[in-house]
Amino acid sequence: MTSKPLAAAVSLAALILAAAMASQAVLAQAPPQAPQTGPGQAPSPSVKEAMADTVFRTETYAYKPLSRDPFRQLVVKKGEGSGETDVSSLDVSNITLTGILWGPSGRLALINDTQGVGYVLSEGDNLIGGRVAAITDSSLVFEQGEAGQRIRFSVKLSGHGGSLRIKD
């Protein structure tokens, strides 16, 4: 699986090395003879000097290991594939209940948003427009409102979904 990316990386490194060696060979050649200048003309700069100023600038880099972990990724991707999901950004009006899991430790609801991304909810999770009050055998019950004026509503299990019981 990793042989194609590895081969591409090796090919790219070889190409960069060949380009660097070719540029060094061009720069190592003797500069052409400067044209004869007249008494009122200033000598023009050599091609090598002009290229060195513009094309082949060297960048300096200083490694500062303070508070950096070399084994930690510099860029962390949130969302799909990272294992991190934020259910608090979901809206209860835009979800579909696709499954319910239950076992000795309680019940979990499997839901999908409008884009088909799956999430796992448990009792007490907060979403936009409600809080998960209960998970039954075939529905997900939400609560909205303040302590004195709570409204409860449920989302039924979709037709293609199902439930799974995990026994000890």
Structural domain containing residue 101: 87-165
134 within some domain = yes
138 within some domain = yes
Q: At what angle do helices 47-54 and 3-28 cross, to 10 degrees?
A: 140
Alpha-carbon span 109 to 97, nearest angstrom? 7
Alpha-carbon span 113 to 94, nearest angstrom? 6
Phi, psi of 150 (to 5 degrees): -90, 140
Are residues 109 and 97 in contact, defined by beta-carbon separation less than 8 angstroms? yes
Are residues 89 and 81 in contact, defined by beta-carbon separation less than 8 angstroms? no
Name the average pLDDT for the chain.
75
- ∠ at Cα 98 (121, 114), nearest 5°? 85
Are residues 121 and 131 in contact, defined by beta-carbon separation less than 8 angstroms? no
Are residues 135 and 101 in contact, defined by beta-carbon separation less than 8 angstroms? no
pLDDT at 164 over 80: no
33 within some domain = no
Could you tell me which residue, 89 or 160, shows the higher pLDDT?
89
Could you tell me which residue, 34 or 5, shows the higher pLDDT?
5
pLDDT at 73 over 60: yes
8 within some domain = no
60 within some domain = no
- Total domain count, the chain: 1
Alpha-carbon span 41 to 136, nearest angstrom? 93
pLDDT at 39 over 80: no
Q: What is the pLDDT of residues 74-129, one digit of tens each?
A: 776 665 554 555 677 777 788 888 988 888 888 898 988 888 888 888 888 888 87
Q: What is the CATH number of the domain that holds 98?
A: 2.30.30.830
132 within some domain = yes
Sole residue written with tokens 């007249």 = 38
97 within some domain = yes
43 within some domain = no
